[in-house]
Amino acid sequence: MLQHVHSDETPAPLSAHSDAVIIPPGARILVSSGMLGMRKDGTIPEAIGEQVAAAFDNVEAVLRTAGMDMGDLVKMTTYITDPSYRDAFRSERAKRVGDEPPASTRVVITALSMPEMKIEIEVIAARA
């Protein structure tokens, strides 16, 4: 079982994330590539909320394929191309990660691999 760490010596989280997550010995570990805000059919929604939802759908699909779920997330790194996308990301993440969220970092960058892409999420997950 993952152990979520919340230190009393650090500021309270601004959104759904843990300060750290401890992976137990012997756990299977999954490291993903970046999951884009692209639907399975290859279309890219224009709205940031739809791209965020598609990126999370892709994360969940990869986890399911590996016999895991969102509760197995240890670390999430998210890249967004505009700081104004923060709220759409936070809202969707709060719906998807549950009561014990992963450690999380969000980075604002100038561009992803295609100009219409607005978000990319990569994860590390572990299951004992």
pLDDT along the chain (128 residues), means of 10: 83 75 93 96 97 97 96 96 96 90 94 96 95
Name the pTM for this structure: 0.90
pLDDT at 6: 80
- Residue 12 tokens read as 């309270």
The phi, psi pair for 83, rounded to 5°, reads -60, -25
Q: The domain 18-127: what is its CATH number? A: 3.30.1330.40
Q: How far, in Å, CA of 96 to CA of 21, rounded?
A: 17
pLDDT at 14: 66
pLDDT at 102: 93
